[in-house]
Amino acid sequence: MVAPGDKAVKTLEHKVVVITGAGSGIGRALALSALKQGANVALSDWNLPAVEETRRLADVTPGRILVRQVDVRSDDEVGAFADLVQSKMGGAHVVVNNAGVSLSDAVGSMKREDFAWLMDINFWGVVRGTEAFLPQMKTRDEGHVVNISSVFGLIGVPGQSAYNASKFAVRGFTEALAQELEGSRIHVSVVCPGGIKTGIVANGRHYQTANGEATTTEETAKKFEQLAGTTSERAAEIIWKGVMRNDARILVGPDARLIQAMVRLFPNTYPSLVRTGMALSERLRGIRM
């Protein structure tokens, strides 16, 4: 048994850190930051040129980075990557299940194919990554599982039912796992970022706004660029700090802290505050344009 507060991963130096979706945004920033802190990293993404670019940006000795094309929708690919990390790097100390996509549409008009696509990546991708790497951590009774949820795993938002479902599911899965691992030296964090300036919206599928109006991915991405207030680099800094502290929940950005406070204080009436917030940001956007 481990004393409460015992930290399994106190530093990233010489640790093996696995990150999915490391070809862009938060995943890339986490990888570059982990390397700076002395970790060896195993990076995957379904977009091979993008994750190769992360390797190029890191500019460290080849032995410290393993890069592979992995689609988190495939049990076989995720399993083979875990085997490779075991054989080439001695197994994972930290796994960050980060790969994700976005979708905006309303219940009723949303295509089942789009909903299933998102769940397979955002939720089942997290489950696959956790299941594949957990045995390596259990063998040495040391490690940290970091699963990326969202503030949309804390509140529901119109037009985001699929994304909300995936991120609430990631949070529930992760909070249950944390309790299953209590007393071991394997720690678990769920990360809830607010708006982070990344390609998450530009890389997604967007058909309807929160107000139910037709939109395009390009238009939604433009709006998101103006709303997202935190850089990926700052997000990575906050996430690694939270992991070192063994925080069960890591909130990223002032908007995330505000949203958590709002949902705690007003669990029944927060939707009207969300509507007011959205109307206000629309108005501010109009002023800025």
Ligand X SMILES: NC(=O)c1ccc[n+]([C@@H]2O[C@H](COP(=O)([O-])OP(=O)(O)OC[C@H]3O[C@@H](n4cnc5c(N)ncnc54)[C@H](O)[C@@H]3O)[C@@H](O)[C@H]2O)c1
Minimal distance in Å, beta carbon 171 to ligand X?
11
Q: Apex CA 96: angle with CA 68 and CA 148, to 5°?
A: 125
Residue 8 vs 164, nearer CB to ligand X? 164
- Return the H-helix or E-strand segment holding 159: none
> Which among 68, 38, 70 is positioned nearest to 54, based on CA atoms?
68
Q: Compute the distance between CA of residue 40 and CA of residue 42 in angstroms, rounded to an integer.
A: 7
Q: Compute the distance between CA of residue 142 and CA of residue 138 in angstroms, rounded to an integer.
A: 7
Q: How far is CA 30 from CA 99, 241, 252, in A?
A: 12, 11, 13
Catalytic residue flag (residue 207): no
Q: Compute the distance between CA of residue 70 and CA of residue 27 in angstroms, rounded to an integer.
A: 14
Burial category of 210 from C-beta neighbours within 10 Å (exposed 0-12, middle 13-18, buried 19 and up): middle
For binding to ligand X (CB under 6 A), which residues are involved?
20-21, 23-27, 45-47, 50, 70-73, 98-101, 121, 148, 150, 193, 195-196, 198-200, 203, 228
Catalytic residue among 163, 207, 224, 270: 163
Minimal distance in Å, beta carbon 63 to ligand X?
24
Minimal distance in Å, beta carbon 184 to ligand X?
26
Residue 8 vs 230, nearer CB to ligand X? 230
Q: Compute the distance between CA of residue 167 and CA of residue 149 in angstroms, rounded to an integer.
A: 5
Residue 121 vs 137, nearer CB to ligand X? 121
Residue 53 vs 142, nearer CB to ligand X? 53
Per-residue b or e along 167-190, where b marks 16 or more CB atoms closer than 10 Å to that residue's CB? bbbbbebbeebbeebeebbbbbbb
Minimal distance in Å, beta carbon 71 to ligand X?
4
Q: Compute the distance between CA of residue 91 and CA of residue 136 in angstroms, rounded to an integer.
A: 6
Residue 136 vs 150, nearer CB to ligand X? 150
Catalytic residues: 163
